[in-house]
Structure 1
């Protein structure tokens, strides 16, 4: 089986969103007639939105089908024991033309109990940001449930949340239970657990084209908060060329910053698949005699059974992800 596996690409699943824009088309070359593309799901095993292979002899197969057939060869023995026929990560590019709702995500325990889902620990890497664009992450003061609820009721939530001015390369780790929102004018790469569970707590009093406000989830959200989190969400990382510079490592994923300016011979010692998101430039990823090109805005998956591969570029920036 090993010698038939190669760097796999998938057809992006594009999502029209009330807050979406045009950057996924104009800057990342996504093809769509949707008016406001908010998200490109690059690799997904979310129910009803499973990715389809777009290259090679596995073309047309679903990620779910691949996992059922290849099992540990696709995701690694340890991951297959833990997750079975469920791919553990959801990989996205997100373009916020308008502010996203202020929200948070439940942990594994709550998500399993309420939604039969994983929790949603995630991280953001900023690909592009307009001048003076912000993200909301965490609170700007010590918080209690009582203080939070009084501001929520008074519609003064924006007085207590932390606005962070953002630029290209800024990276944030969003743990479950932390209030957050991507601000208008920001495009990010998002790496997260396979989950589509979001608790919206404030949506800027927006209405859709039928005059309806989107559903809020404040009854569910109050139990999902961790009000005692430290402000440790900004990720500091080094950018040494031709080396995997670790950004985030948590039980759900490890992500590194990899700037490639030559041919790198890579060896997979992790008993995991590897994902490469190209966030700048373009690169060739080669394994088992097959070469795939990834350019800015594209993503490739290397199955766990591939132990030796190489990445070649004159200049490319990749996010390297494994579990």
Structure 2
């Protein structure tokens, strides 16, 4: 079965920047592109196959047709015709809101489908870029509400200056915010449920404040304090380096300077490659070859037993 690329869904957002369009080698006059949804099965925001036999098909139509051959037997039994991961590039010219996401159980109790566990891989960001992840001090739900009301909630959050290669895992319930100047790849559950806690009194072009979800967020926040929210790992070339392993996805980073064959014969899942730097080619066991470079994402079907990756290329590998 062929490997798949998709047309990106570019999202203009009031905090969006100008990094995504050139990074993805696109010709577009679209401004303030804050997000590029690379691979998405979210209703009304489904990715569309860009070429090949299934050109023009939506991702969920692919799943509905190819079923376990695309996503794997256990994944199809678990998720049905909805693709389970959402992959994005995010460019924050301005500070994003402070927010939190519910667990699956909390989201379903509100009739919202799935919650959202996610991860960030920081790409080449501005020199002064930073982000917030997790609580740095113990607070109660009552103190949380008071801090939101008196504009001091940021004082309770851990803030990190970031550089290329930094990784943050954000399980549902972890309060967080992407800061100005951050450019990153995000891998998450297929969900668009966000509870906005604080938006820095920001107004849109019509002078309106964005909706906040202070009460809903209070019920979802994990108030546990940890000493460090950054994922620690040792970067290596020409071998996989696992970054995150959780019930929703496993993600590794590869930094290849030589050809490598990846064996997925024991994996009952699709695999996604997210290009970070460089370029190369992917060749499967059937001889199908697809080009691959920074800014592109490729979906390998569950039937892909082995693939050979050639070139000088750095990428994330994710599967369920």
Say whether the fold is shared (TM-score over 0.5): yes
**Distance across 1 between alignment mates of 2:85 and 2:55:** 20
Matched, 1:192 2:201: no
**Cα contact 1:14–1:32 (8 A) shared by 2:** no
The offset of 1:25, in angstroms, is: 1.4
Query: Greater CA deviation, 263-272 or 77-86?
Result: 263-272
**Distance across 2 between alignment mates of 1:140 and 1:31:** 43
The offset of 1:229, in angstroms, is: 4.5
Residue aligning to 2:277: 280
The offset of 1:150, in angstroms, is: 1.5
The offset of 1:238, in angstroms, is: 2.5
**Cα contact 2:136–2:227 (8 A) shared by 1:** no
Instruction: Find the residue that maps to 1:61 and give its secondary structure.
Output: coil
Match runs of 1:91-102 below 5 Å? 91-102=87-98
Instruction: Find the residue that maps to 1:252 and give its secondary structure.
Output: coil
Query: Greater CA deviation, 173-182 or 145-154?
Result: 145-154
Q: 1:31 to 1:108 in 2, by over 3 A?
A: farther
**Distance across 2 between alignment mates of 1:131 and 1:246:** 26
Matched, 1:309 2:294: no
**Distance across 1 between alignment mates of 2:112 and 2:154:** 32
**Cα contact 2:101–2:194 (8 A) shared by 1:** yes
Residue aligning to 2:268: 271
Residue aligning to 2:250: 254
**Distance across 2 between alignment mates of 1:159 and 1:259:** 37
Alignment RMSD (CA, Å): 1.2
Q: 1:232-284 deviations in whole A, cap 9, x for unaligned?
A: 53111232222111110000000001111122112212100010001011121
Q: 1:128-150 deviations in whole A, cap 9, x for unaligned?
A: 22112110111221222122121
Match runs of 1:157-236 below 5 Å? 157-236=153-232
Instruction: Find the residue that maps to 2:177 and give its secondary structure.
Output: strand
**Distance across 2 between alignment mates of 1:107 and 1:193:** 10
**Cα contact 2:130–2:178 (8 A) shared by 1:** yes
Query: Greater CA deviation, 71-80 or 23-32?
Result: 23-32
Residue aligning to 1:293: 291
**Distance across 1 between alignment mates of 2:302 and 2:143:** 47
Q: 1:12-49 deviations in whole A, cap 9, x for unaligned?
A: 01101110010001333244332210000000000001
Instruction: Find the residue that maps to 1:129 and give its secondary structure.
Output: coil
**Distance across 1 between alignment mates of 2:204 and 2:290:** 41
**Distance across 2 between alignment mates of 1:139 and 1:229:** 5
Residue aligning to 1:103: 99
Give the TM-score of the pair, scaled to structure 1: 0.96
Residue aligning to 2:14: 18
Query: Greater CA deviation, 256-265 or 81-90?
Result: 256-265
**Cα contact 2:136–2:226 (8 A) shared by 1:** no
**Distance across 1 between alignment mates of 2:282 and 2:227:** 37
Runs ≥4 in structure 1, deviation > 2 angstroms? 26-34, 229-233
Structure 1 runs not aligned, ≥5 long: none
Residue aligning to 2:111: 115
The offset of 1:164, in angstroms, is: 0.6
Structure 2 runs not aligned, ≥5 long: none
**Cα contact 2:145–2:214 (8 A) shared by 1:** no
Query: Greater CA deviation, 167-176 or 284-293?
Result: 284-293
